[in-house]
Amino acid sequence: HDAGRKAFEDAEHQMTEIADDIRSKTADILKIQSNIDENKRDAFAARKEEQ
């Protein structure tokens, strides 16, 4: 029982770490997407000024 409980606790800990990592990476992706959108708007505005 102790070995099974330990294995379960380890798996649970790994799942928590994976979920935290996914949340962090998702936040990073959203920041990058926001930066891309901002750069697109800036580039569009710059092209519009050149015309």
**Where do the structural domains in the chain lie, given as residue ranges?**
26-51
Contact partners, residue 46, CB within 8 Å, separation at least 6: none
- 15 DSSP assignment: H
The two three-digit tokens of residue 10, written as one number: 């380890």
Q: Scanning the structure block, which residue is given the tokens 């770490």?
A: 17
Residue 1: pLDDT band with limits 50, 70, 90: confident
Model pTM score: 0.72
Q: Alpha helices, DSSP H only, in 1-51?
A: 2-50
Q: What are phi and psi of 14, to 5 degrees?
A: -65, -40
Contact partners, residue 48, CB within 8 Å, separation at least 6: none
Per-residue pLDDT tens for 16-28? 999 999 999 999 9
